[in-house]
């Protein structure tokens, strides 16, 4: 059963959870061979305050809310803007959504959008205590004013760098590369590796519709064009599975790209 806790008591709850895991003969460590995703809940802080806090904390900031795209490193504009995607401390802002990546002692972590608010991705470089690592991350995020309203200890683990990742869930008709992107520890690196067109925190896809249906209006803000039962969208990565799970969608895939002879 999923346990949910107020962030006011998060550190004590994490210690309790680690103790309970050990007592149940379950893993109480983050292993260097895996990466981990856990729901973080909705974040109350506004984008502007997060940007200000990140800049004062030495983060590079990539902002898609302005035209042209703007990137800052140490407060100085950077060209090309996308070059900051490799920076160790990074904040990406796309509309009212953000992705924050930071290093820790023996790990890196990312806070990014999810279907239920935000999620925390933990990438250990060595085997680490679960409670110590989570406590360090939460303390660091709280110092920046980033607090999940409903942290979940229902942790998913994934093996790093496998040739073939997990198959999409039954009844969710989505291309395997797009499903891999949704679960990837690094959205930007995975999109580049799989030649997916990603702009900000959105990815370009085509939804093949069930005959004689129309796409739900909830996806209307992301539609680029539509014709003959196909809808092209630039959709937030965390919306990929809800899109594929829609009754009117037969399949979600990347756009076909013409091959070069």
What is the tens place of the pLDDT at every residue in 241-258?
999 999 999 999 999 976
pLDDT at 217 over 80: yes
User: Omega before 68 cis (within 30°)?
Assistant: yes
Predicted confidence at residue 248, as pLDDT, reads 96
Q: Sorting pLDDT into bands at 50, 70 and 90, what band is 193?
A: very high
- Our measurement of the distance from residue 143's CA atom to the centroid of its chain's CA atoms, rounded to an integer in Å, reads 21
Q: Among candidates 225, 184, 189, which has minimal Cα distance to 204?
A: 225
Q: Among candidates 97, 83, 50, 109, which has minimal Cα distance to 200?
A: 97
Q: Sorting pLDDT into bands at 50, 70 and 90, what band is 167?
A: confident
pLDDT at 260 over 60: no
- What's the pTM? 0.88
Enumerate residues 6+ apart whose C-beta is below 8 A from 65. 93, 94, 95
Q: What is the mean pLDDT of residues 132-155?
A: 87
CB 28 within 8 A of CB 105: no
Cβ atoms within 10 Å of 11's Cβ, excluding its own: 16
Predicted confidence at residue 258, as pLDDT, reads 66
pLDDT digits (tens, 9 = 90+) for 83-131: 999 999 999 999 999 999 999 999 999 999 999 999 999 999 999 999 9
Q: What is the mean pLDDT of residues 148-161?
A: 83
The mean of the pLDDT values for the chain is 88
Q: What is the mean pLDDT of residues 54-72?
A: 92
Q: Among candidates 182, 169, 173, 231, which has minimal Cα distance to 205?
A: 231
Predicted confidence at residue 27, as pLDDT, reads 61
pLDDT at 81 over 70: yes
Predicted confidence at residue 45, as pLDDT, reads 87
Q: For residue 90, give both structure tokens.
A: 């990074």
- Residue 107 is inside which H or E element, if any? strand 107-114
Which one has a higher pLDDT value, 16 or 35? Answer: 35
Q: What is the mean pLDDT of residues 190-214?
A: 96
pLDDT at 2 over 50: no
Predicted confidence at residue 153, as pLDDT, reads 74
Q: Sorting pLDDT into bands at 50, 70 and 90, what band is 261?
A: low
Q: Sorting pLDDT into bands at 50, 70 and 90, what band is 170?
A: confident
What is the Cα–Cα distance from 137 to 109, expressed in whole angstroms? 8
Predicted confidence at residue 15, as pLDDT, reads 43
Q: Sorting pLDDT into bands at 50, 70 and 90, what band is 22?
A: very low
Predicted confidence at residue 9, as pLDDT, reads 42
Predicted confidence at residue 1, as pLDDT, reads 33
Instruction: Parse the chain into domains and list their residue ranges.
Output: 4-159, 176-253
């Amino acid at each position: 059963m999923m346990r949910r806790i107020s962030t006011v008591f998060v550190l004590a709850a994490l210690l309790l959870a680690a103790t309970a895991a050990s007592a149940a003969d379950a893993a109480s460590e983050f292993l260097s061979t895996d990466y981990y995703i856990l729901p973080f809940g909705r974040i109350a802080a506004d984008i502007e305050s997060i940007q200000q806090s990140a800049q004062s904390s030495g983060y590079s900031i990539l902002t898609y809310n302005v035209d042209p795209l703007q990137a800052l490193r140490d407060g100085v504009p950077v060209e090309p803007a996308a070059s900051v995607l490799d920076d160790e401390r990074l904040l990406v802002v796309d509309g009212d959504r953000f992705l924050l990546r930071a290093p820790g002692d023996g790990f890196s972590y990312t806070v990014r959008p999810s279907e239920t608010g935000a999620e925390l991705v933990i990438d250990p470089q060595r085997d680490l205590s679960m409670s110590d690592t989570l406590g360090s991350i939460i303390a660091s995020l709280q110092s920046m004013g980033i607090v999940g309203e409903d942290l979940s200890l229902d942790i998913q683990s994934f093996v790093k760098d496998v040739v073939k990742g997990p198959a999409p869930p039954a009844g969710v008709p989505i291309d395997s590369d797009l499903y891999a992107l949704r679960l990837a520890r690094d959205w930007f690196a995975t999109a580049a590796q799989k030649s997916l067109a990603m702009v900000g925190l959105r990815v370009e896809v085509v939804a093949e519709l069930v005959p004689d249906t129309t796409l739900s209006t909830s996806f209307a803000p992301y539609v680029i064009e539509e014709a003959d039962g196909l809808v092209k969208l630039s959709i937030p990565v965390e919306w990929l599975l809800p899109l594929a799970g829609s009754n009117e969608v037969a399949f979600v895939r990347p756009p076909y790209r013409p091959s070069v002879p």
